[in-house]
Structure 1
Amino acid sequence: MSTVSVADTGTTTTGAGAHVAPAPGPVAGPLPASVDVAVVGGGCSGIATAVHLAALPGDPSVLVLEGRSTPDPRSWCSWDDGSDPLPEARSASWTRWEVRTDRGTSVGTDPDHPYVLVRAADRRAAAERRLAALGGVRVVDGAPVTAVTAVPVTDGPGVSVESALGTVRAASVLDARGPRCPEHVGAGRVLLHQRFVGHWITADRPVFDTTTATLMDFTGQAAPGPVRFVYVLPVSPTEALVESTLFTPDAADPFDHEDHVTQYVERRWDLRPDEWRIVDSERGCIPMTDAPVRTGARWSDAEAVVGTTRPSSGYGFARSNRHSAVVAQHLAAGTPVPPFVDGWRTRFLDAVFLRFLRDRPEQAPEAFRRLFALPGPLVVRFLTERSTSADDVRIVLALQKPPFLAALVRTVVDAVTRRRTEAVAHADADADVDARRGRAAGSTR
């Protein structure tokens, strides 16, 4: 389920129908003195926002400052909901998927909403072609931003953006870098770290079934522990992304992802160590929490893309694409960017599910098996925030009742406790303000 990752190798290989964008060349000339919009980060959100800005009337000038100087090795996946501004960048897709457990395998399909893989190199190449045709946007690599500060507006745009390649003035600034796992959250909140290591592997013989994506494989787990599974995207009979994923409350969990992948490859496809090799890798951590999470916000003078990753799953690609259109409109207009906020029903269901994953990890495989045993379109509607109340009821009734009822009660208790704590804190703060005012008034008599 990778949506954010950091590579540990410098190479990028292709999958079926994919290609590698050429390595970025040197910057052609100095940075412009000023632009209408500066975007910090040329990843998923940054590029999508730039494409939307380029298509807006008024031809706003846009500068995207990407910190990497080498090709981005990340990949993103989601069910296609029509929100991607660069659909031509699709690297591979599947209309059939499965969840495997020791109790059985659930298979789903939705031809109208395929499961899509987008590799960053393909997306960047598509964006460069689109932006070259539209004009108005420049993407600069090897330009990590070090500071964003407000400056007097009398002699130009009001925000100064300092990067490794120079300084530029901008009327609006967007911090579009990815989410970071927080170290802790407040009382009554849940935080799980979705840690993953994904290897693009090549086998010497055709063993991968390209008709089906394995979203979760929980088979062969003897030892108890946090939720863990393997994720497989087969892009050709001999090429696949095999990813070890862990949902853990411990940021320093010593789980051996490398061994997890190795054992899985040998067990599932009966491949000897000399019959397959790793050609590229990605790894990362995605926050799964019911607490508000900001993806950027290093500087007070930059808008940040806020909270587009769904807490209960870690999926964020389609949500980021949808929000990027809204972000572009506000950046072009010079108005504050609104946060991405889920409806109350989605927030509540996610909070319940997070408590279930934290408190009853041993029952997670069966929960996912039951969920994906439901009709594919229903599951996709739920996972892409398009479900109806009737859909939600049907999903709730399909899951295990006792553990989810316990998670629901825990969610309500946590919410009540949190509100009481916040009310006491506010009351103490108000009392402190009143006391200071009283002392100040007494000193003037």
Structure 2
Amino acid sequence: MEVIAFVVGVLIMVVGLAVSIALHEIGHLVPAKKFGVRVGQYMIGFGPTLWSRRIGETEYGFKAIPLGGYISMAGMYPPSPREREAALAGERSGRAGGGFFATMVQDARAANDETLVGDDDHRVFYRLPVWKRVVVMLGGPVMNLLFAIVLFAVLFSGIGISSATTTIASVSECVLPAGTERTECTSGDPAAPAAEAGILPGDVLVSIDGTPVSTFEEASDIIRAHPGTPIRVVLERGGSEQTVTVTPVRTSREVIGEDGRPVVGADGAPETEEVGFVGVGPQVTRVPQPLWAGPEAAFENVGAVAGIMTQLPVRVWDTAVDLFTGQERDPNGPLSVVGAGRLAGEVAATDAPVLDRVASLIGLLASLNIALFVFNLIPLLPLDGGHVAVALWDGVKRAWATLFRRPPPKPVDATRLVPVTFVVVVLLIGMGAILILADLFNPVSLF
């Protein structure tokens, strides 16, 4: 059953990724068509075409490798004059010399120019006003952000967040020695204060030491602050309130910092503090959050992912080092789609309530869409952010010319950036390969 659940989790993530890609490309497609740009293809995936259908002037379809997608817009770049004149005259121009990158530039121009010849070549992307080009290119990432907001809203407000309530789920029989690996009590272990005071599973904490409590965290804070000091605890049991006196035993625990990790002292050892302990565990239930909690979580994730992206080369390098040295990977480091699928499989195969597994998968898919949003905003071609940067630079040149009453400049020829684009693509492929290998042979594990 675990294997089946693992496969189901992976398939859910694959479908979720395909939906995310489809929405991303719709975010480009809709404004492009709205602004009159001729769109030749809308494809999900790369490689050989598995299925396609032409509706109007656009071919819609799926390709064999579901790791991306694209729409083919006419005139992504302005035409090169020499190629334009040759195409209109029905001639074929020869290849220019200049080496590898010069040939790449010419090939890019030739592929672009093929979409410009015709009676309706005014329906091209590069002729759009700057703001419309920006809207078209930002449409894809924004769709991923909106999808993530919807998923987080379902997770936070629909399913709810696991929260420890004030209802007691378990009461420890004894106090086990610190650092022990034992899980059962012996005759020599002292009784736990809660059990000694008569607290039972099902009791609801009303107040502690005169302070009303509405969450288990509030109750824990008060208990931890009173080691060795008797405190009054008001309970609700069977519809009536009862008062008991509990004396928390003094115990040591590691100091946890704001980042959720143990605080380490100057000698390298974890710092400890004396706190109170009574031996009760809470019932955990899912509590729906306000409607704004989902969008809040989405934008908090944007900030966290953006921080990772700014250090992406360094983090990928660290991942490569961990891969070859066998060290444990940073759980907050970058993942490939293979890693995301593997985590989805692990989540689906865990021995947990179905709702908890569904919630984890939704959160994972939402985080993946945040990553797609942030990654595509990087201002480098061939990413959407690179096309936005080109459009904005074109707008700056035109505004400068207008300000100084100069003739309108020629459109920015992004094909000149093909060598840079090639380097970026090679780096992205290299980093992707490292992450895939790491996710296969040194994976991040949630459990």
TM-score bracket, normalised by the shorter chain, equals under 0.3
TM-score, normalised with respect to structure 2: 0.23
Larger Rg: 2
Higher helix share: 2
Higher strand share: 1
